[in-house]
């Protein structure tokens, strides 16, 4: 299973930036990638949802070239994040389908998935899911509430932290 100590160590500034970005895409699902840089820092990279129109409220797609470009810089994919609008933070059937490749194995081994609940335009909760070989599926590793008072104002651009 994914190392949950890494999820526990997610810097609050990065989590705040993720929440702000996903709030900005409401009522559509928003998307972001978190990479571990060559120097070992975590970097948040907001990316566009490739789904448009009414379907964007309930699904997302990320251009895999976003990941490939970062990997070409020596960065490794740490998390794929997206929002759920006015529902919950469960890793849905569609989320699982998008995360699995041939043979029912993860498309991005070692990557965690973050689902952020955005209710009425405000980030309320985040849950992280990691692959479990024992369960042959994704399991929730952590959930955090996102109280509005904990989300700080600041830049909406890419964030990196130690």
Domain borders along the chain are 4-149
* Strand 159-161 to 112-119 pairing: unpaired
For residue 78, which of 28, 48, 21, 38 has the smallest C-alpha distance? 38
pLDDT digits 0-9 by tens, 136-157: 999 998 887 775 544 444 333 3
Residue 93, Ramachandran bin (φ over 0: left; ψ between -120 and 50: alpha; else beta) = alpha
Q: What is the CATH number of domain 4-149?
A: 3.40.140.10
pLDDT digits 0-9 by tens, 10-25: 888 999 999 999 999 9
- Output the six-digit token pair for 9: 């160590």
């Amino acid at each position: 299973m994914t190392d949950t100590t890494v999820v526990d160590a997610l810097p609050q500034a990065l989590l705040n930036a993720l929440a702000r970005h996903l709030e900005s895409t409401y009522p559509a699902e928003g998307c972001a990638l978190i990479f571990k840089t060559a120097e070992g820092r975590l970097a948040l990279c907001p990316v566009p949802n490739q789904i448009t129109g009414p379907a964007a409220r309930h699904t997302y797609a990320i251009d895999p070239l976003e990941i490939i470009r970062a990997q070409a810089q020596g960065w490794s994919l740490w998390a794929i994040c997206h929002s759920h609008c006015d529902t919950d933070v469960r890793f849905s059937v569609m989320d699982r389908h998008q995360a699995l490749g041939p043979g029912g194995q993860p498309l991005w081994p070692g990557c965690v998935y973050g689902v952020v609940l955005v209710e009425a335009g405000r980030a309320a909760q985040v849950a992280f899911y990691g692959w479990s070989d024992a369960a042959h599926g994704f399991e929730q590793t952590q959930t955090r509430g996102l109280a509005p008072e904990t989300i700080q104002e600041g830049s909406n651009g890419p964030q990196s932290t130690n």
